Structure 1
Amino acid sequence: MRKPWVTIALSGVLTLMGTVAVPIFPAQAGPYEQCLEGCGDAARACGGVGDDRDCSGPRSDCLAECGYLRGTNNTGNTGPVRYGALAYSQTMQGWATASEWADRASAENAALDSCRSLAAAATDCQIAVWFYNTCGSIAAAPGAIFGSGYGNPTHVAEGYALQSCRQAGGGDSCVVQKAVCTGL
């Protein structure tokens, strides 16, 4: 079994923290329900790009992936569900990741705790994206502009993160800061 990992970075400096002991709290909803909730997030992100794309395909793909959690979709991954999260501080313009956690709450808590450890001033840490058995990514631009995305393989997550950052006003200044995969 893989151990959970947390990564933090400030101004482009990467620090690997190793295994972090964070209490594991039971998830409020099961993985299937959390997945369905995430599909709505993905559809809103797709629709918010503003280029008149048809977002029904990505939502259908997402719902099909959720079916894996109920044993109704053959994704080729027969391992356990593993969660990851990326947190971002706009004031510090730094990010933190957490991966290989057993539930969403633990992954988010680990990412937030690591983000807050960037510096005492990092009081505005927020979850940029959470994901399970896939990859998540964050992209940023000067002026504390950022975007995030998830998908598999890594370049899909990075593409969504860049798209989200550009939509937030970062334009061509957006650069992928980090991508991390979990449960693959």
Structure 2
Amino acid sequence: MRAFNWATKTILAAVVCLTGGIATARADSFGAISLSPATGATGWSHDYRSRREAEDAAQSYCYKNAGDCRVAIWFKNSCGALARGPDGGWGADWAQNNRQAQRAAVAACSRHSYNCQVIRWQCSGGY
């Protein structure tokens, strides 16, 4: 019995050394989509370590083309989408994959506008 315990511990130690640990946690990944309501310009980001970094990056890209940008949606380890209607109404939402996020964004936009179309979607964290 003592040899079995020693052998088991040796194998476990080797596995830990090779994998870097028994379990490794995946870091959260944030993204955001920014919109200029006046011009329709967008900015987006993905795979940032914090919500603030993701929002700042999306805003920075949007501000290159417009001065009235605002964050429409942020998301963590998921996907976000932004939809807009022909009258300028818009809506945004997030979900676990891009197809669901796009549907949710169109539904959100449809509460404020008509004929809504997705104008931007983005995923973060490998989703």
TM over 0.5, shorter chain: yes
CA contact (8 A) 1:79 1:183 kept: no
Aligned to 2:43: 96
Which among 129, 133, 143 is matched to residue 87 of structure 2?
A: 143
> Within 5 A, what are the aligned runs for 1:99-118?
99-118=46-65
Alignment TM-score, normalising by the size of structure 2: 0.76
CA contact (8 A) 1:136 1:154 kept: yes
Unaligned 5+ residue runs, structure 2?
Answer: 1-24
Alignment TM-score, normalising by the size of structure 1: 0.54
Aligned to 2:121: 179
| Structure 1 segments (4+ residues) deviating >2 Å | none
Aligned to 2:101: 157
Where 1:148 maps in the other structure, the secondary structure is strand
Q: Match of 1:79, as an amino acid?
A: R
Q: Match of 1:94, as an amino acid?
A: A
The Cα shift of 1:148 comes to: 0.4
The Cα shift of 1:143 comes to: 2.3
Identity %: 27
The Cα shift of 1:178 comes to: 1.6
The Cα shift of 1:79 comes to: 2.1
Deviation string for 1:106-154 (max 9, x for gaps)?
Answer: 0000101110101xxx221010000010000000111221110100121
Which among 63, 73, 77 is matched to residue 133 of structure 1?
A: 77
> Within 5 A, what are the aligned runs for 1:3-82?
78-82=25-29
Unaligned 5+ residue runs, structure 1?
Answer: 1-77
